[in-house]
Amino acid sequence: MIEVEAKAKINSFEEIIEELKKLNVEKNKTETQTDIYFNSPIVDFAKTDEALRIRKVNTDEKEELFITYKGPKIDKKSKTREEIEMKIEDENKCKKIFINLGFTNVRTVKKTRDYYDLNEYSISLDNVEGLEPYMEIETILEDGNDYKKAQENIFKIFEKLGIKKGFERTSYLELLENKDKNL
C-alpha cells in the first residue's frame, strides 16, 4: 500500500476545527498513540529514510498494537511512501524479538490524535508531546496506483483549511531528535 500524506505545522487546533466545521467535517474519533521506533543493525534508517515502529493505539473502547514499516519517501513534496502494517498481540514479545535480532530502540513518540474524515481523506490534528500543533492529511492507495492526483487533492484540502505554508516532510521522530540536538 502507498500512504499519500502531507503534514503542516499549524497555529492552533481551534482555528482548524473552526475551518473544518465550515466544510461540515466533524471529529469521528480520538486516539492516544505511543510509537516505539527501532533502528536496524544493518542500515541506519535515518539515512535510508525508512522507519520501523511498534504502535500502541488507545481509544475509549480498546487498545490495539501494530508493527509498521515505512519505506523511503517517493517524492520531494510530501511524505508519500510505502507502508506495511499489521496487528500484533504482544508489545513486549515483539520488542524482545527486535532486540534479539540486533535492532535498537531509538525513541518513543507519544501523541493524541483527533481524526476527521473528508471523503477518502483522513485529517488528523496531532498533539505530539514536545512539539507544536500539527495537522496531517492522508489517504491510502493500493500499490501501483498513481499517487499524484491524491497528493494534489490533499494540498487542495489544506488550502481550503487556510494552510498554505508550514509543510513538513520530517517525521515526528526526526522533529523531536532535531529539537534535542538544538538544546
Q: DSSP letters of the chain?
A: -EEEEEEEE-S-HHHHHHHHHHTT--EEEEEEEEEEEEE-SSS-HHHHT-EEEEEEEE-SS-EEEEEEEE----SSSS--EEEEEEEES-HHHHHHHHHHTT-EEEEEEEEEEEEEEETTEEEEEEEETTS--EEEEEEEE-TTS--HHHHHHHHHHHHHTT--S-B--S-HHHHHHHHHHT-
Q: Which of 37, 116, 147, 172 is catalytic?
A: 37
Check if 121 is active-site: no
| Beta-carbon count within 10 A of 161 CB | 22
The residues assigned a catalytic role are: 37
